[in-house]
Amino acid sequence: MLSYQHAYHAGNFADVHKHLTLYIVTDYLLRKKSAITYVDTHAGRGLYPLDAHETQRLQEYREGIWPLWQARAALEDSLLLTWLEAVAAAQISATGLTHYPGSPWWLGHSLREQDQLRLFELHPGEHKQLSAQALLPNAQRVFGDGLAGLAAMLPVVTPRLCVLIDPSYERKGEYQDVGDTVAYTLEKARHAVVLIWYPLLPAGHHHILLDALKESGLRKIWRSELRLQEPGEQSHGMFGSGMLVINPPWGLDKQLAGAMADVTPLLGATSRYQADWWVGE
């Protein structure tokens, strides 16, 4: 039984970190003409109205997209500004920030005629909402398990493959499941670019995923982490967001570091960004 719904968290600091990374990766991939299959294993609803009752309950976007949006006018020409212009393009009307675009929007937006996009979602309500979104015909929405669905698609027919894995980690076993699926994916598609999001929790469960990937023999894994604060002794909640990029495009490290140097101070005095090679280089 799935209880997680991303609408409660839409536009938070983790979404900003994840979608900015995704934007840089896809922007790079689009420089070549050869076709790409994109797979979003945990798609969610696609587009999130910020006035939805779920989103209003926690208002996490106020510590995420909101301060960046507010700072827009003062920003110099930069990657962050370009990304915020893309957020502006996702708005339904011209009355400011009313919607936050999820990963199906970010991937669907960069889709060309020769590319394919497959969006998996296992929650019936979320899948129904995703199905109601206007997307290009080469974006396919599948009601089903994203990790099994990805494995069943391999190898893909296009020369290139880009995968986003963004689970809700409601089960601790998901960290290992992600590690196993990624190892299998890279066995079948050696040059696939795979992005994985994980939460930083005081319990440190993400080390299960990090260790599994290190042991699986992958050659290049870039890790970046954004912390809103350091965890207190009594805290249980998510204090940071992590992204792994397997086979990262050349220059991702510098571009992301530059964008995050603009983002981090806008998220509060205690926020910190750090990045390194988890495997390779």
Examine residue 2 and tell whether it contacts ligand SAM (CB under 6 A): yes
Contacts of 82 (CB under 8 A, 6+ apart): none
- CB crowding 250-277: b at 16 or more within 10 Å, else e: eebbebbeebbebbbebbeeebebebee
Which among 113, 226, 118, 201 has a CA at the least distance from the CA of 164? 118
Q: In the complex, what is the shortest distance from the CB of residue 16 to ligand SAM, in angstroms, rounded to a whole number?
A: 11
Which residue carries 């005629």 as its tokens?
113
> Would you tell me the crossing angle of helices 79-89 and 252-266 to the nearest 10 degrees?
80
What minimum distance in Å lies between the beta carbon of 96 and ligand SAM? 21
Residues 281, 268: Cα–Cα separation, whole Å: 32
Work out which of 121, 200, 210, 227 binds ligand SAM, going by CB under 6 A. Answer: 121
- 253: annotated active-site residue: no
Question: Which residue, 196 or 213, has its beta carbon nearer to ligand SAM?
Answer: 196
State the Cα–Cα distance between residues 112 and 33, nearest whole angstrom.
Answer: 9
Instruction: Give me the residues paired with residue 224 across strands.
Output: 243, 275
Q: Which is nearer to ligand SAM, 64 or 146 (CB)?
A: 146
From 103, 185, 241, 247, residue interacting with ligand SAM (rule: CB under 6 A): 103
Q: 48-66 burial, b if ≥16 CB within 10 A, otherwise e?
A: bbbeeeebeeeebbebbbb
Size of the site for ligand SAM (CB under 6 A): 20
Q: Give the nearest distance from C-beta 123 to ligand SAM in angstroms.
A: 3
Say which residue the tokens 């999130």 belong to.
Answer: 48
H or E element, residue 240: strand 240-246
Stretch that binds ligand SAM, among 23-31, 161-169, 235-243, 247-255 (CB under 6 A): 161-169
Which one of 36, 43, 246, 263 is in contact with ligand SAM (CB under 6 A)?
43
Taking the least distance from each CB to ligand SAM, the nearer of 144 and 251 is 144
Q: Which of 146, 240, 242, 249 binds ligand SAM (CB under 6 A)?
A: 146
Q: Which of 38, 68, 99, 102 binds ligand SAM (CB under 6 A)?
A: 102
Q: Which of 61, 66, 83, 120 binds ligand SAM (CB under 6 A)?
A: 120
Q: Which of 166, 177, 211, 276 is the catalytic position?
A: 166
Q: Which residues are catalytic?
A: 166
- Give me the residues that bind ligand SAM (CB under 6 A), please: 2, 4, 6, 18, 41-44, 102-103, 120-123, 126, 145-146, 166-168
